[in-house]
């Protein structure tokens, strides 16, 4: 299949996807172009999960598909703070977060490219996903994690047989260490590597089908590296190109106010923002001070007519408690987007359909949640 | 809908399901009879999860359905110890175990019956499920758990707002304490209460659909209280009554050899078994010394042409490691059934289709798994 190619966002160089490139030779970010219009009219009736959309994913041969049963997550209704909205239950993914979508496609393509060893950096969830799919594919996997990573996530990565490198300091320092080490293996980065976003884009396809072949009006997503947000943006744009929906949902990127470089950039109208100093947040999954694709995230949000918002730690804690009282147990990062819905909903029209996500499982961070329960 | 009634297995008394009875006045177990043949030809195309089978579930009114998005779990293929088989990913359920199926139906019907407060006992997973669905329904929930319950499961129950009673001693002692306290609330027991099995039976329906309108030849399930096993048995029997499948899959009940009252009973050909002494096992979810429905479990296994088997602790540990190396992170109880597949597969025909389950998520027991990884 020649339907996909790598494309540099800066020098516009086009590279064949048969090559395992995760960055352009000019040093810039690569994206993936789909040459032909996708056609959503003839999806296979008997296939569930992300590989239902196999025709729109850059993996050529069926035998290269590395799958753990990802995708096809439930969409549930929630009433909170006087507003009804829907939530995509990504915590029900095989490893407990939406990152499985991206890892499944990235590792499948890496297998197709003959890769035997991958390197990743992660606050935990992407590392768990990459370790799991690498294990499924029989690849070696090394993950650089910040030393403060949740114990449960570390056990999970170890169970998949990944080699874990604890990096002292911040999430950013773990990313830097992985980037420096990427020479010794394929950088399966969920921020750099454009294949990852080909997986996360399937959330747009699934929402389109679950919402009766429509798009939501408003999409509220957590944003650190923007892996889910950019994937959703790509997916909905493909749905527009296919003539399946008329316009993008307005995308709201929610950050923790302790670490909100995207909000700072939006206010300053420049990327990267000046004088930005990150602080600690319980939302470890989005504690990203310098998102590699920050500029792209801002473009996506702006193009869609949405905006970046930030929520306080106490709003995150309140959201965890409110969700628990409704029967949903999610990690702090997942509560961020729900707190974000509370922030933005006063400005929305009552009839607008809002969709948000539970990005990761509460069991990923039971120590942190126990501390919140003890305080409450 | 008058399609369902409670029926005592001993005195044959019939009780209306409008009454919140979890046990017959004679003290015996109640079961639920479906009066009319179910018809599997006309399932709603646009509904996912267990409520797709709403016509065969004993909840009358749509507005009483209490749902967190349960059911519709992936079915994946696995190769282990030279045998290919399929596994139902129940760890991807909203609270991380198959217990969500049972809790969803039980709490929905309890809501319909006007119940405001439920009592349950659990090694953790059923307690988490019941607490979550009770929270969703706005009911009070008290859970009696053995004091050795996994910390993550306790945090999860607390997050749902459940009142937790730590009972010193064994799983059995927690059950006894709950039974004694059941006078003060509705006993939402996953062993006594027959509504629970109306939920777990949906796994049979889903397998039937996922396997192209057939049943597997062999079903390998963990067995403690037998909540999943009895549910599957009920479901497949309904499929036979409906003319949808010709015969039951052979059901193999897998226990830990440290706590295998069902195996002892099978050998002695009597229930309960004599001189049975349980020992500690890492498979906390099935550490049940006196399963209330033990006799029924044995009937189900025998009727299906299967048998009870037991696996050693070291086989459970090996299965956890082998599954991790394949990208699956499951709790020890889930590894029991996979170890069971290894036990029984030499005696099976090569063409027989085997299905097993991952009953619960690895994140439910990350401490226990960390200890296994440390030893390995």
pLDDT, one tens digit per residue, over B130-164 is: 999 999 999 999 999 999 888 899 999 999 999 99
Residue with tokens 């009454």: B19
Q: Is the pLDDT of residue B1 over 60?
A: no
| Residue of chain A whose Cα is closest to the Cα of B104 | A327
Partner residue opposite A48 with nearest CB, options B46, B74, B367 = B74
Q: Do B329 and A160 touch (CB under 8 A)?
A: yes
pLDDT tens, position by position, B246-304: 999 999 999 999 999 999 999 999 999 999 999 999 998 899 999 999 999 999 999 99
Task: Indicate the residue of B74, B132, B362 with minimum beta-carbon distance to A159.
Answer: B362
A152 contacts on B by Cβ (under 8 Å):
152, 363, 366
- How close, in Å, is residue B26 to chain A by CA atoms? 35
- Contact yes or no for B363 and A133 at CB 8 A: no
A92 with B72: Cβ contact below 8 A: no
Q: Quick check: B136 and A326 CB within 8 A?
A: yes
Contacts of B51 in chain A (CB under 8 A): none
Q: Give how far Cα B291 sits from Cα of A191, B109, B166, B294, Å.
A: 50, 24, 20, 5
Q: Given this model, what pLDDT does residue A67 score? A: 98
pLDDT above 80: residue B2: no
Say if A166 is an interface residue toward chain B (CB within 8 Å).
Answer: no
Helical packing angle, A313-324 and A366-375, nearest 10°: 90
Q: CB neighbours (10 Å) of residue B305?
A: 13
Question: Which residues 6+ apart lie within 8 Å of B350 measured at CB?
Answer: none
**Inter-chain touch B326–A136, beta carbons under 8 Å:** yes
Give the pLDDT score at B42.
84
Mean pLDDT of B340-361: 96
Report the share of chain B in percent with pLDDT over 90.
Answer: 85
Q: Which residues of A touch B319 (CB under 8 A)?
A: none
CA distance linking residue A230 with residue A227, whole number of Å: 6
Residues of B in contact with A92 (CB under 8 A): 69, 92-94
Q: How far apart are CA A62 and CA A49, in angstroms?
A: 15
Distance from the Cα of A212 to chain B's closest Cα (Å) equals 9
Residue B67's nearest CA partner among A355, A86, A318 is: A86
pLDDT, tens digit, 9 for 90 and up, residues B48-102:
899 999 999 999 999 999 999 999 999 999 999 889 999 999 999 999 999 999 9
CB distance from A242 to chain B under 8 Å? no
Residues of A with Cβ-Cβ distance to B72 under 8 angstroms: 72, 74
- Rounded to the nearest angstrom, the minimum Cα separation between B7 and chain A is 31
Contacts of residue B70, defined as CB under 8 A and 6 or more positions apart, other chains included, come to A74, B49, B50, B93, B94, B100, B101, B104
Order of strands across the sheet that contains B186-187: B163-167, B140-146, B117-121, B186-187
Span A51-65, pLDDT tens digits: 999 999 999 999 999
Whether B328 and chain A come into contact, CB under 8 Å, resolves to yes
Per-residue pLDDT at A171: 79
What is the C-alpha to C-alpha distance for residues A105 and A65, in angstroms, rounded to an integer?
8
Residues in B closer than 8 angstroms to A161, CB to CB, are 324-325
Closest by CA position to A55, among listed A200, A202, A190: A202
Indicate yes or no: CB of B161 within 8 angstroms of CB of A95: no
Alpha-carbon gap: A80 to the closest alpha carbon of chain B (Å): 12
Please answer yes or no on whether B72 and A76 come within 8 Å at the CB atom: no
Q: What are the two backbone dihedrals, phi and then psi, of residue A79, each rounded to the nearest 5 degrees?
A: -115, 120
Residue A96: its chain B contacts at CB < 8 A? 361, 363
Alpha-carbon distance of B194 to B197, in angstroms, equals 6
Cβ atoms of residues A151 and B362 within 8 Å: no
B376 touches chain A (CB under 8 A): no
Cβ neighbours of A375 in B, within 8 Å: none
Residue B79: predicted pLDDT: 94
Note which residues in 171-200 of chain A have CB less than 8 A from chain B.
none
Q: Please tell me if residue A26 touches chain B, with a CB cutoff of 8 Å.
A: no
Q: What pLDDT, on a 0 to 100 scale, did the predictor assign at position B148? A: 86
Candidate from B46, B74, B329 with C-beta closest to A49: B74
Q: Per residue of chain A (376 residues), what is the pLDDT tens digit?
A: 458 999 998 999 999 999 889 999 999 999 999 988 888 888 887 888 999 999 999 999 999 999 999 999 999 999 998 899 999 999 999 999 999 999 999 999 999 999 999 999 988 899 999 999 999 999 999 999 998 888 899 999 999 999 999 999 887 888 888 888 877 678 999 999 999 999 999 999 999 999 999 999 999 999 999 999 999 999 999 999 999 999 999 999 999 999 999 999 999 999 999 999 999 999 988 999 999 999 999 999 999 999 999 999 999 999 999 999 999 999 999 999 999 999 999 999 999 999 999 999 999 999 999 999 999 8
Q: Do B72 and A74 touch (CB under 8 A)?
A: yes
* Minimal-distance CA residue of chain B relative to A159: B324
| Whole-number pLDDT of residue A2 | 59
Find the Cα–Cα–Cα–Cα dihedral B184, B186, B188, B194, rounded to 10°: 130
Q: How far apart are CA A256 and CA A308, in angstroms?
A: 11
Q: Which of B47, B71, B327 to mutate to test the interface with A (most CBs of A within 10 A)?
A: B327
> Which residues of chain A make contact with B369, given a CB cutoff of 8 A?
155, 159
Rounded Cα distance between B192 and B176, Å, is 12
How many Å apart are CA A266 and CA A270, to the nearest integer? 7
**Contacts across the A-B interface (CB distance below 8 Å):** 141
CB contact under 8 Å between B366 and A155, yes or no, is: yes
pTM: 0.96
Which 81-140 residues of chain B touch chain A by CB within 8 A?
Answer: 89, 92-96, 128, 132-136
pLDDT of residue A271: 96
Residues of A in contact with B69 (CB under 8 A): 73-76, 89, 92
| ipTM of this complex prediction, to 2 decimal places | 0.95
Instruction: Name the minimum distance, in Å, from the CA of B375 to any CA of chain A.
Output: 12
Helices and strands (DSSP H and E) totals, chain B? 12, 13
Determine contact, residues B122/B113, Cβ cutoff 8 Å. Answer: no
Cβ–Cβ under 8 Å, residues B73 and B206: yes
* Residue B360 touches chain A, beta carbons under 8 Å: no
């Amino acid at each position: 299949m020649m339907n996909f190619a790598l494309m540099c966002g800066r020098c516009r160089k086009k590279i064949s996807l048969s090559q395992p490139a995760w960055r352009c030779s000019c040093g810039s970010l690569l994206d993936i172009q789909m040459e032909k219009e996708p056609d959503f009219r003839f999806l296979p009736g008997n296939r569930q999960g992300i590989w239902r959309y196999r025709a729109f994913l850059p993996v050529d041969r069926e035998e290269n598909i590395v799958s753990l049963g990802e995708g096809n997550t439930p969409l549930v209704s929630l009433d909170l703070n006087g507003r009804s909205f829907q939530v995509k239950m990504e915590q029900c993914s095989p490893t407990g977060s939406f990152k499985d979508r991206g890892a499944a496609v990235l590792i499948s393509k890496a297998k197709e490219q003959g890769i035997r060893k991958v390197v990743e950096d992660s606050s935990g969830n992407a590392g768990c996903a990459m370790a799991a799919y690498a294990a499924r594919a029989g690849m070696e996997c090394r993950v650089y994690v910040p030393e403060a990573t949740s114990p449960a996530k570390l056990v999970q990565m170890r169970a998949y047989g990944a080699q874990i490198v604890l990096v002292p300091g911040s999430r950013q320092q773990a990313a830097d260490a992985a980037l420096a080490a990427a020479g010794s293996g394929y950088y399966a980065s969920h921020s750099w590597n454009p294949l990852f976003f080909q997986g996360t884009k399937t959330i747009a396809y699934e929402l389109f089908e679950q919402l009766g072949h429509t798009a939501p009006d408003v999409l509220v997503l957590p944003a650190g590296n923007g892996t889910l947000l950019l994937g959703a943006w790509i997916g909905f744009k493909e749905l527009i190109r296919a003539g399946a929906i008329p316009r993008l949902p307005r995308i709201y990127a929610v950050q923790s106010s302790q670490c909100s470089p995207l909000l700072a950039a939006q206010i300053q109208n420049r990327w990267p923002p000046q004088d930005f100093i990150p602080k600690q947040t319980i939302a470890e999954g989005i504690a990203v001070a310098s998102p590699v694709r920050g500029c792209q995230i801002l473009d996506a949000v702006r193009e869609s007519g949405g905006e970046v918002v930030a929520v306080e730690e106490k709003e995150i804690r309140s959201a965890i408690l409110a969700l628990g009282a409704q029967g949903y147990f999610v990690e702090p990062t997942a509560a961020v987007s729900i707190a974000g819905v509370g922030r933005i909903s006063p400005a929305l029209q009552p009839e607008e359909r809002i969709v948000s996500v539970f990005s990761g499982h509460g069991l990923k961070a039971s120590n942190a949640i126990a501390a919140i329960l003890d305080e409450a």
